[in-house]
Structure 1
Amino acid sequence: NPVVKAFAAEMAVPAMEECMAALGGQGYMEENIIGRLVRDTMVEKIWEGTAAVLSLDLLRSMKVEGAWDAFLEWTMIIMASVPRDLQEKLDGPIGFLRVAIKDLEAAYKPPMHPLVPRAALFLFSYVASSLYLLEHAVWSFVSHQAERETDVEAFIRWVEEGGLKTVQEDIKKILTSPETRSETDKALVYGKDARSKL
């Protein structure tokens, strides 16, 4: 699954760095395996394919007839499953999620801007992971699990603080950027083409 591969590879290194920092000097010591985990997770971005390549895999999947509709149906089923007792508490985060789904739909609307696929992959990842957290929070709440309040809070924090808004802003910037942005990006990386003076 390109979404899981790319998102896990992208999120793993910062998470491992946080683990290392939480342990202070002990986290840096070679006797503790966190340093190795950081190195190993960094290579996942290479072994599993770059996010740009995986984003094109997702784009191809989204072009399959019925794929987008199936995804939308799944999102609606999960959001509709929120019990009445929980709706008021989750109204804000679910509203953010609905906007993110509309942004995702706009990102995949043809003709697709050439810089959108990578950012859209991460927006898709945040939306899907948010929905899985919501699905779990609803189950936990309905089945009266001891950790139900924590599960609900995990969903709320993930949607409001986990990076969803940042990737939405990235897509909006790309979609409103001039068509020359790709050429400018190329010039920033490789420099301007210039005639040889020889």
Structure 2
Amino acid sequence: MSEPVARFSDALWVALGVLGMGLVVAALVQVFVGLAPLRKLHAALGKVRSGETPRLNGDFPAEIMPLVEELNTVLAQNAEVVERARTQAGNLAHALKTPLSYTGQRGRCRQQACEPGARGTRPPRPGAGLHRTSTSGLPPCPRTSRRHQPHARCPHPAAASHRRPAANHAAYPRRAPA
């Protein structure tokens, strides 16, 4: 009786081993096939990240579709925020460029008026008629024979008398009266 039991025991171990191996293989196949839609989602996200597509496209199972829809909503909102930020950056750049251009042009005009051999005309300023200051009480520039508002870098003495005292003191020391 021990021989039939030993044969049965050996056959049982072989059958249980084959069954165990089959279950392991079945579990691996189930995981591989079950996670295939997530790998497809991963590939679609890679295309969005690289800029190939603006949203997630593809045929996904019903279990993953809510996630895909939410991701597409987030991507659309992100694109809207980026577009608004670009518009605001463009508006800011324009808002900064206009005053800087105006200031730079005024500085060049004033500097050119004090240079030797400068012509008697200035290039037109943006908004020249809007904020005009009176130059009638100023002495003429000895180099250009024009009246203009003095500025800190203007080297001639006639403009120095109309500068603010702090700028006059810092840039040009006082001379003794002659």
Query: Under a length normalisation based on structure 1, what TM-score does the superposition of the two structures give?
Result: 0.20
More helix by share: 1
For the pair shown, the structure with the greater C-alpha radius of gyration is 2
Query: Under a length normalisation based on structure 2, what TM-score does the superposition of the two structures give?
Result: 0.22
Bigger relative contact order (CA 8 A; separation at least 6)? 1
